[in-house]
Amino acid sequence: MATVMEMPKLSDTMSEGSVARWLKKEGDKVSAGIPVIEIDTDKATMEYECPASGTLLKILVGDGQKCALQAPIAVIGKPDEKWEEALEKYNAKKGGATASSETKKEAPKASSAAAPSASSSKSSASAPDLNVKASPLAKKIAADKGIDLKAIQGSGPNGRIVQRDLDQAPSSGSSSSSFAFAANAEVEKIPHTNMRKTIARRLAESVNTAPHFFLTVNINMTNLLAWRKDAVAKLPENEKFSVNDLVIFLTARALKRHPDVNSSWQDDYVAKYRDVHMSVAVALPNGLMTPVVRHADKLTVVQIAQETKRLVKLAKDGKLQPNDYAGGTFSVSNLGMAGIESFTAIINPPQAAILAVGATVPTPVVLPNGTIGVEQRMKVTLSCDHRVIDGAVGAEFLKTLRQFFEDPVSALFLG
C-alpha cells in the first residue's frame, strides 16, 4: 500500500515547512531511513529521511514551495500503484484535508469582466485574521479602515497589535504594504524565508519585552595578542585557535564567576544556570544562526576552537540539528572580523545578555609615565535585560572580563 509522506515538524517553534530541494525525483527508488528531502525550518535547512521504501510516485510540494505541517508532500509506493488513489484515501482518512494551496495548479486567469469588485476586495482585506495577535479594539479599527493586520508590527506585550500601532497604518485605499514604495522605483521582492521570519519575530519580541541597557569597556589586547601569536606558532594545525575562540573561552570563565549574568527571565522566576552554554552568532547568506558551544566554561581554548569550527561548518552546510542550536545561556556576536569597531547587539531571548565584540585597532593612549604610546585596543559592549541584570552586576562582570583579557593567567584562578 502506498505511503503519503507528510511535512514534518523539525523544531519546537516551526509553524510551517518549506522544501529546500528534493534529493530524489519522481520515479526514483527510495529507501526508508535514507534522506530524500531537504527542508527549510525556522532555524536551519535539514535533511529528512524517507518514511518508507519503494518508488517516489509523486512530489506534491516542489522545490521552494511551502506548506502547513503534516500536509502531504509526496506519495511513495510500488511502481504500478496510482498515487491519486493513495492521496484520495489519505484525504478521506484525514477528514478531507488536502495538500498546501501552493501545490495546486493555477486556475485559468479570469477575464476583466470577472474581476472582483472594489467592495468585495475591501471586504476581503478587512476581514479579521484570527491568527494575528491584536486587541479587540485594534481588530475593529482594522476592519473599519480595511487595514491588513499582517503588515503591522505590534508594540504591545509579546508583539500584540494595539490601537497606537494603527494610527499611521495605511488603509485599503492606500498601499497595502506597511511602507509605501518610492514613486517609479524599481523593486525586487524577496520572499521571506522561514529563518528570516523567525529572526524578525524573535528580535522584535526581544526589543518589545526586554528592557535593554548597554555597557561598554575598552580593553588593552596587546599582551593577549602577543601570547596567542607565540602559543599558536607552537601548536599543530588542528589545535590552532583564533581571537574569537579566546573571547568565548574568557567570557565563559567570567560568566562562571558572575552567574547572575548567565541567567534568563521566566514568567515566575529568574533561571540562573549552573552551566555555561555559549551561543555563537554565525552569519549565513539567508540569516543568522547561533549554534551552541556546550559547557564552554569546562573546555580548553583548543577544544572550544575545534567545537566552534565543527558547528560553523554544519551551519554553513545547512546541517545543524536542533540540539546544535538550542539551549544557549549567553551569546557572543563578533563583528570585529568585519572591521566594525563598536556596536550594540539585540539580546537573544530568553537569555538575559549578549556580548558585542568589536575590532582590535591600534589606539593612541597616555601611558602611566605621561608619554603617548600605542596599544592594541578592543571595545566590547554588553547588552543586558534590566529585568534580570542591574547596572552594577553588568559592570562587575565587564570588570572581570577586562581583567581576564589583559591578564589571561588570572582566568585560570577562579575563586
Instruction: Give catalytic residue positions.
Output: 386
Strand segments, DSSP code E, in 23-176 are: 29-30, 35-40, 45-49, 54-59, 66-68, 72-77
Bridge partners of residue 213, in order along the sequence:
384
Cα(405)–Cα(253) distance, integer angstroms: 11
DSSP secondary-structure letter at 25?
-
Q: Which helix (H) or strand (E) element contains residue 194?
A: helix 194-209
Cα(209)–Cα(334) distance, integer angstroms: 24
Omega before 108 within 30 of 0, i.e. cis: no
Cα(139)–Cα(154) distance, integer angstroms: 12
Cα(294)–Cα(307) distance, integer angstroms: 9
Strand order in the sheet with 330-334: 212-220, 372-385, 353-366, 330-334, 278-280, 292-293
Q: Are strands 330-334 and 278-280 parallel, antiparallel or unpaired?
A: parallel
Q: List the one residue out of 405, 41, 409 whose CA is nearest residue 224.
A: 405
169-208 residues labelled b (16+ CB within 10 A) or e (exposed): bbbbeeeeeeeeeeeeeeeeeeeebbbeebbeebebbbee
